[in-house]
Amino acid sequence: MNEAFAYAERGAPGQIPDVPGGWDHLFGEMLIDITIIGILFTVITVYLLIRYRRREQGQEGNPPRLTTAAAIGWAIIPAFIFMADDFYLAAEGWTLFNEYRRVPENAYEVKVEGSMWSWHFIYPEGVESFGELRVPAGTPVVVRMTSKDVVHSFFIPDFRVKQDMMPGRMTYLWFYPKAPGEHLITCAEYCGLMHSGMKGMIKVVSQDEFNNWIETEKKNNNT
């Protein structure tokens, strides 16, 4: 079913889309959109509130008489304006959503298991880590996740991604760490006592450093 939505994909295949950039761009666009609507409504409301205040005791309104055509027009025309804006935003949102959901082909795959209240990462090389996810810079990373106990949510604010994890189902998200650095992971679905303390760190290191780390960890495991 998900494949049916793939045709709205943007950019050439193989190219890694800039999801956080796309998010910031779309959010900015939307902020402009709702600010314009908001200011428009506010100006009209304030004008009406001042212009039509009561001037003398016992004054009544002088409402316009709407013809049938005007009454229908006042329903249909605004409805279509709202609908046009809705569909415009929906189209943009759909495009970005596809980027969120289409994992780039060469992505590095890590499994994560949530449990109250920590994250357990399992790398394809058989290495494991708790709380800290180490990934190489310059490679998209896909996180396949599930939970041992209750619903948690894997939220990386810097990469503008979030996905719930729960027992009995496998979910995923992907992100693209371009440069070495540290990024916060924090739980976004209420999971009890230490919900707000359920945090972790993504450590993005250079490819060489990452390879070394994997090798060392493997040796540590074997001994």
Partner 1 sequence: MYATEEALRHKPGFGQTLREWIFTIDHKRIGILYLIGSLAAFAVAGLMALLIRIELGSLGPTLTSNPGTYNVWLYFHGAAMILAFQIPALTGFLANYLVPLMIGARDMAFPRLNALSLWLYWAGIILALLTFVIPDPPDVMWTGYPPYSLKTGGNTAFYVFTVHLMGFSSIVGGINLLTTIFYMRAPGLKLNKLNIFVWSTMGAFVLQLVFIPVLAAAVTTLLFDKYLGTHFYDPANGGDVLLYQNLFWFYSHPAVYVILLPTIGMIFDIVATFAKNRVFNYNMVVYGGIGGVVLMSGEVWIHHLFTSGMPDWIRIGMMISTLLISIPVGLLMIGLLGTLYRGAIQYTTPMLYAVGFIFLFLIGGLTGIPNAMTAIDLYIHDTHFVVAHFHYVMAVATTFAIFGSVYYLFPKMTGRMYSETLGKIGFFILFAGVNITFFTMFIVGFKGMPRRYYDYQQFPQLEGLHHIITIGAYIIGIAALLILISWIHGLIAGKKAPDNPWGSKSLEWTTSTPPPPGNFRELPILTEEWHPYGYGRSK
* Cα(209)–Cα(102) distance, integer angstroms: 28
Q: How many CB atoms lie within 10 A of CB 200?
A: 23
151 binds partner 1 (CB under 8 A): yes
Encoded one letter per residue, x for contact with partner 1 by CB under 8 A and - for no contact, window 154-193 reads: -x-x--xxxxx-xxxx-x------------x-xxxxxxxx
CA 109 to chain centre: 20
Residue 129: what are its φ and ψ, rounded to 5°?
A: -150, 160
Interacting positions 96-135 with partner 1 (CB under 8 A): 96-97, 99-101
- Taking the alpha carbons at both ends of the chain, their separation in whole angstroms is 46
Interacting positions 48-87 with partner 1 (CB under 8 A): 48-49, 52-55, 58-64, 66, 71, 74-75, 78-79, 82-83, 85-87
142 binds partner 1 (CB under 8 A): no
Q: Whose Cβ is closer to partner 1: residue 37's or residue 128's?
A: 37
CA 167 to chain centre: 22
CB of 109 to partner 1, least distance (A): 18
Q: Whose Cβ is closer to partner 1: residue 201's or residue 214's?
A: 201
Concatenating the DSSP letter of every residue in 159-182 gives GTEEEEE-TT--EEEEE---SSEE
Q: Whose Cβ is closer to partner 1: residue 169's or residue 206's?
A: 169
Inter-CA distances, 39 with 26, 43, 98, 172, Å: 20, 6, 32, 39
Encoded one letter per residue, x for contact with partner 1 by CB under 8 A and - for no contact, window 20-39 reads: --xx--xx--xx-xx--xx-
